[in-house]
Structure 1
Amino acid sequence: MSLQKPMMRGLLAKRLRFHLPIAFGIAITVALSYKFGVTEPRKKAYANFYKQYDAVKEFNAMREAGVFESVRPSGK
Structure 2
Amino acid sequence: MSLPKPAMRGLLGKRLRFHLPIAFALSLITATVFKYSVTEPRKQAYADFYKHYDSAKEFEAMREAGVFQSVRPSGE
Deviation for aligned residue 1:75: 2.7
Q: How much identity, in percent, do the aligned residues show?
A: 71
The residue type paired with residue 47 of structure 1 is A
Number of residue pairs aligned between Structure 1 and Structure 2: 76
- For residue 7 of structure 1, give the secondary structure of its aligned residue in structure 2: coil
Paired position in structure 1 for 2:26? 26
Paired position in structure 2 for 1:35? 35
Unpaired runs of at least 5, structure 2: none
Paired position in structure 1 for 2:4? 4
RMSD: 0.7
Deviations, residues 7-59 of structure 1 (Å, cap 9, x unaligned)? 01111111011000000011111111111110100000000000011000000
- For residue 9 of structure 1, give the secondary structure of its aligned residue in structure 2: coil
State the alpha-carbon separation in 1 of the partners of residues 11 and 73 from structure 2: 75
Paired position in structure 2 for 1:15? 15
TM-score calculated relative to the size of structure 2: 0.96
TM-score calculated relative to the size of structure 1: 0.96
Matched, 1:74 2:36: no
